[in-house]
Amino acid sequence: MRIVVIPGDGIGPEIVAATQRVLAAADRRFGLGLAFERQEAGFAALERAGSTFPRAVLERCRAADGVVLGPVSHARYPPRAEGGLNPSGELRIGLDLYANVRPSRTRAGIPHWSRTPMDLVIVRENTEGFYADRNMHAGPGEFMPTPDVALAVRKVTARGSRRVARVALALAAKRRRRLTIVHKRNVLRLSDAFFVAEVEAVAREFPGVAIDDQLVDSMAALLVRDPARFDVVVTTNMFGDILSDEAAELAGGLGLGASINAGDDHCMAQAQHGSAPDIAGRDVANPASLVLSAAMLLDWLATRHGRPELDRAARAIEGATEALLADAATRTRDLGGTLGTAAFAQALAERISRDSASPTWRPAGSPRPAPRAAPSKARRAPASARRRCGTRSRRSTPGARPSRSRSRCRGSPRRRRSSLRARRGDAMPPASAAPSRPASARWRRCS
Ligand code: NAD
Ligand code: IPM
Ligand code: MN
């Protein structure tokens, strides 16, 4: 199994090194036969090759079995004409990674911002939508017809909608058998009505999955108020981008937001969050987001190649992560612990090497915390109920924490700077490490 590993920018090199260490331990423990190939993207590649995403890197990724991509400081890149390509976008389009699968769940002992516990997966369309840098065959999807007018095009296709719907429905069928379609069709009466209709058409192939839908603005509120009601959520690209950051933070924090970008032939592990320049180079970043993303990649590879040892390795990584997170003494600082990035990875690697294939966390099939609004049995909702979710009020749960203000250093301004060093922004003055907490594991399995 050839895995291309791309360190990226900001905290990328630290969390990618940590992830590779954990994968290497899983490789030794389960005999996976992993071979790592390091490639450069981001500022390192810009310096060396004049592009943040050289064409050759895409070809190496295409030839590999899987990719682990560290976060990139895309907002600070120069314009495309000067070599500033977004590696995320290039890989998602270049490898046709049309489904971005982003689980978020609360965990025992780790405080969460949401009023209820949650265990949901956002499946985000990943190749079209409002992403002007990648949604056109030629040229960008935004333009200025006159100096005082700026337009952006949002692209929704039947094929794009149907294939992401299929991924979401197949996932829902293995979990709590409920799918929520998130949209804004009260305003986007053509494009989002179209997206919803295409997803509903595919849903007819999955009669065991109950379907409902939700407007994106009220969805943002319900994620805070009552996320327990959601199982799998499918939505267009930018809604999914925004809601998944919200869900990860509500569940505990961005530092454990894992994801894969999956297509029919390729898969890429990538944390949900960005390059966190405010904490880069200080060994304080939580690597669990990318470690858990890598576990999702192993899970995807296990299914694709029919190799159960890859699935065992994925479960062992999830289990070891769960075990470390359960103990405040073995958490990273963003979670109130004391471990640095490297020490957390070392502890994970040791645990994976030591543990048996059955991790110490909940075995498959045992009850998990409280998705209270989840249906206990698969049932397709009646047509009337499928129009929208009902609204129920919910009291605050003991695990929920009150909001608090947080300071955050956003890094240097976005305006162009002449020197590369200024663009990197990796040597930012230290900001107080923002609190953030975890979010994934067992994303594919039902409770
Ligand atoms: P961010 O996700 O990098 O950071 C948001 C906050 O979360 C910061 O306070 C950061 O310190 C914290 N955080 C993020 N990951 C963490 C971790 N693993 N452990 C502990 N704390 C963590 O968002 P941003 O500041 O808006 O973006 C920074 C850069 O990342 C931008 O250039 C943006 O374009 C880019 N970006 C890249 C990706 C990607 O590569 N997948 C995703 C989002 C943003
Ligand atoms: C993500 C990021 C990217 C996106 C940016 C860096 C273009 O926010 O992967 O979530 O919007 O897709
Ligand atoms: Mn994002």
**Predicted local confidence at residue 186, as pLDDT:** 97
Local confidence band at 108 (pLDDT 50, 70, 90 cut-offs): confident
Q: Could you tell me which residues come within 8 angstroms of residue 351 by beta carbon, excluding any fewer than 6 positions away? A: 320, 323, 324
Rounded to a whole number of angstroms, the distance between the first and last alpha carbons of the chain is: 30
- Pick the ligand that lies closest to the CA of residue 291: 1
**444 is a domain residue:** no
Probe target for ligand 1 pocket from 73, 134, 268, 273, with the most ligand atoms within 8 Å of CB: 273
Indicate the top mutation candidate among 135, 236, 241, 293 to test ligand 2's pocket, ranked by most ligand atoms within 8 A of CB: 241
Task: Look at residue 437 and tell me if it is in a domain.
Answer: no
Separation of alpha carbons 172 and 444, rounded Å:
9
Domain boundary among 223, 251, 279: 251
User: If you ran DSSP here, which 8-state letter would residue 288 be given?
Assistant: H
Kindly name the residue from 65, 96, 133, 184 that is annotated as catalytic. Answer: 184
**Closest to 223 measured CA to CA, from 123, 292, 122:** 122
The answer to whether 166 and 200 are in contact (CB under 8 A) is no
For 14, the domain range is 1-102+254-359
**Can you give the length of the chain in residues?**
447
DSSP, collapsed to helix, strand or coil, labels residue 91 as: helix
| Mean residue pLDDT across the chain | 85
Indicate whether 62 and 19 sit together in one domain: yes
Mean pLDDT, rounded, for 194-204: 98
- Give me the mean pLDDT over the 161-178 stretch: 98
Instruction: Place 444 in a pLDDT band, splitting at 50, 70 and 90.
Output: confident
Answer yes or no: 245 catalytic: yes
Q: Is 217 a catalytic residue?
A: yes
User: Which atom of ligand 1 is closest in space to residue 287's alpha carbon?
Assistant: 18
DSSP 75: G
Instruction: Please determine, for residue 96, whether its predicted confidence score (pLDDT) is greater than 80.
Output: yes
The domain boundary residue, chosen from 251, 267, 295? 251
Q: Pick the residue whose CA is nearest to atom 12 on ligand 2.
A: 241
Dihedral sign from CA coordinates of 6, 62, 34, 294:
positive
Residues 144 and 241 in one domain: yes
Q: How confident is the model at residue 18, as a pLDDT?
A: 98
Which residues line the pocket of ligand 2, CB cutoff 6 A? 74, 86, 88, 241
Ligand 1 centroid, distance to 43 Cα (angstroms): 16
User: Which pLDDT score is estimated for 202?
Assistant: 98
Same domain, 275 and 246: no
The answer to whether the Cα torsion of 423, 428, 434, 440 is positive or negative is positive
For residue 158, being part of any structural domain is answered with: yes
- Beta carbons within 10 angstroms of residue 94's beta carbon: 18
**Residue identifier of the C-alpha nearest atom 24 of ligand 1:** 274
Ligand 2 atom nearest residue 272's Cα = 10
CA neighbours closer than 13 Å in the CB half-sphere of residue 274 = 15
What contacts 359, CB < 8 A, 6 or more positions away?
Answer: 315, 316, 318, 319, 320, 322, 323
| Ligand 1 centroid distance, CA of 430 (Å) | 15
Considering only CA atoms, which residue is closest to atom 4 of ligand 2? Answer: 241
Across the range 279-285, mean pLDDT stands at 98
Residue 383 lies in a domain: no
Q: Which whole-number Å values give the CA distances from 392 to 137, 218, 327, 389, 405, in the listed order?
A: 44, 13, 34, 9, 28
Residue 72 CA: nearest ligand 2 atom is: 6
Q: Do 221 and 260 lie in a common domain?
A: no
Question: Exactly one of 174, 217, 264, 265 is catalytic; which is it?
Answer: 217
Burial 100-130 (b: 16+ CB within 10 A, else e): bbbbbbbbeebbbbbbbbbbbbbbbbbbbbb
Q: How far is the CA of 306 from the centre of ligand 2 (A)?
A: 31
In whole angstroms, what is the distance from residue 337 CA to residue 255 CA?
13
On whether both 63 and 171 belong to a single domain, the answer is no
Report which residue type is found at 94. Answer: G
192, 241, 299, 426: the catalytic one is 241
Q: Are residues 164 and 51 in the same domain?
A: no
Same-domain check for residues 27 and 128: no
Residue tagged 């209709």 (tokens) = 197
Number of Cβ within 10 Å of residue 155's Cβ equals 19
Pocket test for ligand 2, best of 88, 102, 123, 260 (most atoms within 8 A of CB): 88
Any idea what the CATH number is for the domain that residue 204 is in?
Answer: 3.40.718.10
* Whether residue 93 sits in one domain with residue 120: no
Ligand 1 atom, smallest distance to 279 CA: 11
Say whether 192 is catalytic.
no
Question: 349-370: per-residue pLDDT in tens?
Answer: 999 998 754 443 333 333 333 3
Pick the residue with more confidence: 424 or 360? 424
Indicate whether 92 belongs to any domain: yes
Classify residue 33 as left (phi > 0), alpha (psi -120 to 50) or beta: left
Q: Nearest bound ligand to CA 273?
A: 1
* Mean of pLDDT values over 6-13: 98
- What is the arithmetic mean of pLDDT over 109-132? 95
155 is catalytic: no
Ligand 1, CB within 6 Å, residue ranges:
71-76, 88, 254-255, 270, 273-279, 285-286, 289, 334, 408, 434, 436
Does residue 196 belong to any structural domain of this protein? yes
Mean pLDDT of the 209-216 span: 98
Strand, helix or coil for residue 214: strand
239 CA to middle of ligand 3, Å?
10
Contacts of 124 (CB under 8 A, 6+ apart): 99, 100, 101, 102, 164, 234, 235, 236, 237, 239, 240, 241, 244
30 in the same domain as 61? yes
At 380 the pLDDT is 38
Strands (E), 76-131: 99-105, 119-125
Residue 76 CB partners (closer than 8 Å, separation 6+): 9, 277, 411, 412, 414, 423, 424, 425
Q: For residue 35, is it within any domain?
A: yes
**Could you give the percent of the chain with pLDDT greater than 90?**
78
144 CB neighbour count, 10 Å cutoff: 9
Burial 261-282 (b: 16+ CB within 10 A, else e): bbbeebbbbbbbbbbbbbbbeb
Q: Does the residue 430 lie in any domain? A: no
The closest ligand to the CA of 74 turns out to be 1
Q: Which of 275, 286, 291, 335 is the pocket-test mutation for ligand 1 (most atoms within 8 Å of CB)?
A: 275
Whole-angstrom Cα distance, residue 218 to residue 373?
A: 17
Please answer whether residues 105 and 325 qualify as being in contact, where contact means their C-beta atoms are separated by less than 8 angstroms: no
The ligand placed nearest to the CA atom of residue 93 is 2
For the CA of 245, the nearest atom of ligand 2: 10
Look up 241 and say whether it is catalytic.
yes
Q: What is the pLDDT of residue 32?
A: 98
Tokens 């197949």 — which residue? 170
How many structural domains are present in the chain? 2
pLDDT digits (tens, 9 = 90+) for 27-65: 999 999 999 999 999 999 999 999 999 999 999 999 999
Question: Which residues, in sequence order, are bridge partners of residue 243?
Answer: none
Give the distance (Å) from ligand 1 centre to CA of residue 21.
22
Query: Which of 251, 278, 293 is a domain's end point?
Result: 251
- My answer on whether 337 and 302 are in the same domain is yes
Q: Give me the mean pLDDT over the 153-170 stretch.
A: 98
Summarised one tens digit per residue, pLDDT across range 322-346 is 999 999 999 999 999 999 999 999 9
Q: How far is the CA of 276 from the centre of ligand 1 (A)?
A: 4
Please say if the pLDDT value at position 251 is more than 70: yes
Phi-psi region of 93 (alpha: psi -120 to 50; beta: other; left: phi over 0): alpha
- Are 266 and 324 in the same domain? yes
Name the pTM for this structure.
0.85
The structure tokens listed for 70 are 């560290």
- Is 90 exceeded by the pLDDT of residue 391? no
Whether residues 247 and 338 share a domain: the answer is: no
